[in-house]
Structure 1
Amino acid sequence: MITSVVRQALRTRGDEPAVLCHTGDHRTTRRELSGFRLRPADRLLDLDTHRLGDPVEVPGVGGEGEPEAVGLLVVVAASLTDLRRCLTTATLLPPAVHLVVAVADTPGNQGPLVPAPPGIDEWHGLQELRVRRVGQRGWLCELYFPNSVETAAALDHVLSGTGGRRRGPRSVPLGAVHGREGALWRSGDVSATGVSATGPIPLRRVTPVADLVLRVDDGSGLPEWQDPAVAHLDVATTGSGSWESLTSADAPAVSVPGARPGPSEAGRPVRVGEPDPVTTIAPIDERAVNPCGFTKKAGGPMGDLTVRGGKAVVREGQKVLFAVPDDGTVTDLDLGHTRYLRGIRVDWSGHSGPAAAVRAVASLAAGGVPLVSGSVPAWASGVGTELASLLVSVSAADLRDPLTREEHSVRLRRAALRTHGQIARWRELAVRAGIPVPPEPRMTVMLCTRRPEMVGFALAQIARQRGVRFEVVLALHGFPASLPQVRSAIGAFAATGVQITVYEAPADQVFGAVLNEAADRASGTVIAKWDDDDWYGPDHLADMALARTYSGADLVGITQDLVYLEELDLTVWQSYKSEKPSPDVVGSTIVIDRSVLEEVGGFRPLPRAIDSQLLFAVRRNGGRIYRTHGLGYLLRRAGQGHTWAADLGYFLRRNTKQWSGWRPSALLEGAVEPLGAARTVEYSGGHR
């Protein structure tokens, strides 16, 4: 299909030159573009090897008296991960009249390659748009602009539509990159600029187009930087770090907890040349490499990340699922090939280089793939101490238990995305370069309760949240803050230093209106709903923030995987599918952008069914809802007092596993005592 579309486009493109680009696995992409009879001015370009900062020159285009655009520009990507990575390089490509974008294959959870047009009249000149399926899961998108279109911007809009309406946060600070692997460091960011090795940084009117320059050294050395107005940092390519350089006598030693010497080190002390080896690893594009599509089946076989035929591969038995390229990139398509596995054993020997091995392991972890490993070699300290510890914390046999397997997956994805995600990495680079960055987004935890006796319990759950900036808006529905137990709980919470705003709502005010009044008092850009009687793990808000980033959804939440049935003193695990778009999430876990809440008109002024009505409104407004894992939350189900009317039989009929007593996931990290002088909330049984 791709070949026939490109052949027809070459025939009809007119007199202008054509540029045919490919990115990702050459066995797929280069084959699709081979065998064409090209004109002398046409170009065949490998976007993965082109050095950022070098112009893409097309004879007869862009010069004085010459057309600014090419007649045809084709980008063939092996996966969406590859297409996102090449966005940065695409800023160097000329405008095009006819743009063909093809992704050879996508995982089963991915939607079509449908662009999201920009605002105002930027695409007023679009004459034709066609989207077609390629094979079973590939996609092809054609856009025709008689007066041409900026190639990188059009690619960005294609990817934006594929990922949903909300783009998600971009990396800060504004970056410029130089070098062959520059796109690895700033994947999916059309605002990043390729620059020369020495500078100066181009100006947009009177302002530099970047605040920080990252130069990637391929081993040949870099000249002196000549633009004092813009800070720069230098890093090495994934292939430039050799085993010899790691073990040289001139490099300072570094240790990793539980580390052992690698097989290629010949017993010599392991050394690296950076104080923090984590920052030398090219980051992971969290919008492409993430847990989306994770499956909970624990009965599958184990796979291995190992070496076969001199190449790092992931295999199951003798079947190779995918080969890891020399730069260590793992794509969304590769992750899709591993989802049926119970887990993957990591073999640290024989990889093409330390950085490539670390990137591959960190990417699999970021994708939620359950990984097990022997002790981590010291040369792999770039994975970070937390991830290194997690890799040795469970065995392949442990992963046979579905709950243990998912708990391990969640811990791995947290550590990998927070350590190696592109957003986190660029904030770290900014700190190294002394460049200020905006604060992390602030969440507003919104708690509305009619029960004064539960205020201390609920605030204790909120107080132990970590890894996010947040404030609390507490709506007291029908009782004052002056009640002794309420006043005591609020005082104890305020002593933690977290800002809390109290709103005393009249008893006769309808529930939906109370929530709107509480939202009006929020100063955060993101609002998180909270219930007064459920248990939340200390990473609940941080997990919601992470899911919001990698899913691109307008609203995120979880399902009631774990439920404590108070009347029966029983905990049930329902094991719903997670890490997927879903129309339904638990209302007490809803996390929504404040702007989206305003767009849908806020909460409906109703006494009940408020959460389901909000979910309906978001979907009617074209928004996306995403369901992440539910192991950091335990729903309490008492006999009465719930706005959600479901009897105990509902939970008993649908459970996968059950235990006597109060038995949360290990990710909940136990219970906490209520704040202030509130009564202790009783529970029976033990916890893990």
Structure 2
Amino acid sequence: MITSVVRQALRTRGAEPAVLCHTGDPTTARRELASLRLRSGDLLVDLDTHRPGDPIEIPGVGGEGEPEAVGLVAVVAASLTDLGRVLTVATALPPTVHLLAAVADTPGHQGPLLPTPPGIDEWNDLLEARVRRLGRRGWVCELFFPNSVETALALDCVVHGTRGGHRGRRVLPLAAVHGREGCLWRPGDIASTGVTATGPVPLRRVSPVADLVLRTDEGTLPAWEDPVVPHLDVPTTSRPRITITEAGEDPHRTGSFDTHTIPPIDERFVNPIGFTKKAGGPMGDLGDHGDRTALSEGRKVLFTVPEHGTVTDLDVGRVRYLRGVRVNWSGQVGPVSMVRAVASLAAAGVPLVSGPVPPWASSLGRPLIDLLTSVEERGLADPLTREEHSVRLRRAALGTHGRAARWSALAAGAGVPTPPEPLVTVMLCTRRPELVGFALAQVVRQRDVRFELVLALHGFSADLPEVRSAVREFSASGIPITVHEAPGDQVFGAVLNDAADRASGTVIAKWDDDDWYGPDHLADMLMARTYSGADVVGITQDLVYLQELDLTVWRSYQTEKPSPDVVGSTIVIDRSVLTDVGGFRPLPRAIDSQLLLAVRRHGGRIYRTHGLGYLLRRAGEGHTWGADMGYFLRRNSRQWSGWRPSALLEGEPRPLGSETVPETTLSVPSAREGRPSTTTTGGHR
């Protein structure tokens, strides 16, 4: 099908030459172009082997007195991951009047290859755009321009359109690369420049185009000659294979590799989106298959891993039905392909189990290594244990091997400063002074996130003893806090807007005063915000504690997917998006649902991530959401007597200020334990 589309484009391109490119699995991408008849001036390019920065020269194009553009550039990719990766190389492609981008296959959750136009006026003269499906899940996008377009920029718009157009924070620092594997290190970055082995880094006006250079090459690299821009050297992925026997590792090859010498994972495509909670599927096996690393189910090979270890979104989609994957470290092992495959599957939330991890795989990082051996295969038969393990794996893998994490570590190693992480404003509005200490204890234990707190006291004073002591203890932690006293007769939506006006963060996280939040709640929300590209991130009511019945129910909704609704007390939204939709409506109730509706009507995307780090408390009355107890009892997959959160909640902290101020208490069982713990209680807002 792709072949016929490209053949038709070749027939209609006029007298100008064509550049046909392929990337990804050659049995898919290269095969689609192999049978085409090309003219003498046409060019066939393997983008996977092209060195970033090396020009792609087309006879009769780009020289003095010659046309600047070609008649057709066609890029055929085996997967979206492959198309995104080679954007770094695509900067060498000439301008074109006809761009054809084709992806042979995509996962089931992926939408069309629909481009998002650039931000100024580069596409004002666009003549025609065509987007169509190829087969069941392939896509092709064609763009026609009368006066040509910058090919890399147009491809970038196509790739980012598949994520809804929200680009998110760029990966810093600005980088230049040398070597054929440069695109593995800066996937999808059209701002990344290829440089020579010795430098210098080119200037744009008076400034270098990069703040750090990464050189990847075989053999000995020459001395770096640019005195302004620092550089780092990393080995290529084609490292010697390692023989592992029952007696242990090959004694002639025992070296391990530093984490930062492994190319990062592109979390825009390899991520938990599409995770399924079904725990009844078969197990898969990751290990040697001939001379390649492969993942198999029985005798069926689901995908093979290239030597450089890149796992694609398509590969992840093929294994979602598995209960889990056993990692087999024995045999003739390609160290980089194996390490990157394990890290990628973990980043996608695929449940992995393993025996002892060999020393040569230490580049996985200690957190991920410990998790691989923490759960046995039989444990994955329990859906809750399986999902908890999946969440821990994705946290460790993306926190160590994601693009942002990798380049932050590289910048630190080279002494290149980078801006701080985004500041999150936790926004908590409460009518109940007796719950302030409980709520602040949930906030203060958040980790691995820069955040502040805006505490809105709705109808009472901060001078109340229980409030004053809790705020004092919170302030002692060093986390910034702003206390706002709102009149009791002010409508709730207006109170939230006043609280948002006092926020300093670029991201706002809503918080409730009586629900339980795990210490990684904020970090999980920001991680999902990064890989989903969504404007709003939140969770659903997976775990609910029914206070009147002293019962915990697990509702096990489908997560890791776009969704029109999330729990209001978990909404994480860019402050700019909140401003653009007009803030919160000045209403006494249904504030959160109205905000989500406004985001959708404004063209924003809402994403639902896992809900295991949160426990909703449901009392008998006083809720702004009117569902009764029967609603939760009818719609659950499992229930337990007493207070029984996920292990990811990590128990319950002591309410702040409780040592100096008497508290109303409720005795509930601690997570995974039978011991009672003390929880502040009160009426629900």
Number of matched pairs: 669
Q: For residue 224 of structure 2, what is the aligned residue in structure 1?
A: 225
**Distance of 2:2 and 2:251 partners within structure 1:** 51
**Greater mean alpha carbon deviation, residues 410-419 or residues 117-126:** 117-126
- Asked if structure 2 preserves the Cα contact closer than 8 Å seen for 1:458 and 1:533, the reply is yes
Contact 1:305 1:313 in 2 (8 A): yes
| Alignment partner of 1:302 out of 258, 283, 301 | 283
Residue 56 of structure 1 pairs with residue 56 of structure 2:
yes
Q: Secondary structure at the match of 1:145?
A: strand
**Alignment correspondent of 1:464:** 445
Aligned mates of 2:570, 2:397 — CA distance in 1: 23
Contact 1:314/1:320 (8 A) holds in 2: yes
Structure 2 residue 560 is matched with structure 1 residue 570: no
Conserved 8 A contact 2:242-2:332: no
Matching residue of 1:446: 427
Deviations 1:622-673 (A, max 9, x none): 0000000000000000112211111000000000000000000000000111
Partner residue in 2 for 1:239: 238
Find the residue that maps to 2:75 and give its secondary structure. strand
Kindly state the Cα deviation for residue 476 of structure 1 after the two structures are TM-superposed: 0.1
In structure 1, list runs of 5 or more residues that go unmatched.
Answer: 245-259
Preserved contact between residue 242 and residue 333 of structure 2 (Cα < 8 Å): no
Q: What amino acid is the match of 1:265?
A: E
Structure 1 partner of 2:594: 613
Which SS does the other structure have where 1:240 is aligned?
coil
- Deviation of 1:77 (Å): 0.5
TM-score, normalised with respect to structure 1: 0.96
| Corresponding residue to 2:334 among 334, 337, 353 | 353
Per-residue CA deviations over 1:114-166 (Å, capped at 9, x if unaligned) read: 00112232101110100000100010000011100001100111111111131
1:184 paired to 2:168: no
Question: Structure 2 vs 1, CA of residues 215 and 39 (structure 1 numbering), >3 Å: closer, same or farther?
Answer: same
1:232-284 superposed Cα distances (whole Å, 9 cap, x missing partner) = 1111111135549xxxxxxxxxxxxxxx9997733468333x6xx11111000
Matched, 1:641 2:640: no
Matches within 5 A, 1:407-418: 407-418=388-399
Name the counterpart of 1:265: 249
Three-state SS of the structure 1 residue aligned to 2:303 is strand
Which residue identity lines up with residue 35 of structure 2 in the other structure? G
Alignment of 1:212-611 (within 5 A): 212-217=212-217, 219-241=218-240, 243=242, 265-267=249-251, 270-272=254-256, 277-350=258-331, 352-611=333-592
CA RMSD between the two structures: 1.4
Q: Which of the numbers 666, 669, 678 marks the counterpart of 1:682?
A: 666
- The whole-number CA distance in structure 2 between the counterparts of 1:181 and 1:682 is 59
Cα 1:63–1:680 shift into 2, 3 Å: farther
Between the aligned partners of 1:74 and 1:263, the Cα distance in structure 2 is: 51
Q: Distance in 1 between matches of 2:462 and 2:406?
A: 43
Cα distance in 2 for partners of 1:42, 1:194 equals 24
The aligned residue for residue 83 of structure 1 is: 83
Change beyond 3 A, Cα 1:471–1:511: same
Contact residue 202 and residue 208 of structure 2 kept, 8 A: yes
Contact 1:457 1:681 in 2 (8 A): no
- Do the aligned residues in 2 keep the contact of 1:475 with 1:503 (CA within 8 Å)? yes
Stretch deviating more after TM superposition (605-614 or 29-38): 29-38
Closer/same/farther in 2, CA of residues 370 and 540 from structure 1, 3 Å limit: same
Aligned to 1:255: none
Tell me whether 638-647 or 347-356 shows the greater mean CA deviation. Answer: 347-356
Q: CA deviation at 1:387?
A: 0.2
Q: In 2 relative to 1, CA 301–680 (structure 1 residues): closer, same or farther, beyond 3 Å?
A: farther
TM-superposed deviation, 1:201: 1.1
Give the direction of change, closer, same or farther, for the CA distance of 1:507–1:373 in structure 2 (3 Å limit): same
> 1-side partners of 2:667 and 2:554: how far apart?
17
Structure 2 partner of 1:206: 206
Q: Is the 8 A contact 2:22 2:46 kept in 1?
A: yes
Shift of 1:680: 5.8
Matches of 1:11 and 1:350, distance apart in 2: 50
Three-state SS of the structure 1 residue aligned to 2:143 is: strand
CA distance in 1, matches of 2:595, 2:325: 40
**Distance in 1 separating the partners of 2:665 and 2:82:** 51
Tell me how far 1:53 sits from its aligned partner. Answer: 2.6
Tell me the SS of whatever aligns to 2:377: coil
Partner of 1:247: none
Structure 1 range deviating more: 675-684 or 357-366:
675-684
Pairwise CA distance, 1:681: 4.2
Distance 1:223 1:43 in 2: 32
- Please state how far the C-alpha of 1:59 moved relative to its aligned partner: 1.3
Alpha-carbon distance between aligned partners in 2 of 1:359 and 1:560, rounded to the nearest angstrom: 34
Deviation at 1:17, TM superposition (A): 1.1
For residue 677 of structure 2, what is the aligned residue in structure 1? none
C-alpha separation in 2, matches of 1:181 and 1:664: 45
Q: Tell me the secondary structure at the aligned position of residue 363 of structure 1.
A: helix
In the alignment, the residues of structure 2 paired with residue 186 and residue 513 of structure 1 have an alpha-carbon distance, to the nearest angstrom, of 44
Q: Counterpart of 2:678? A: none
Structure 2 residue identity aligned to 1:472: L
**In the alignment, what sits opposite 1:65?**
65
Deviations 1:591-636 (CA, angstroms, capped at 9, x unpaired): 0000000010000000000000000000000000000000000000
Structure 2 CA distance for partners of 1:352 and 1:238, relative to 1, 3 Å: farther
**How far 1:310 sits from its partner (Å)?**
2.2
| Matched residue, 1:149 | 149
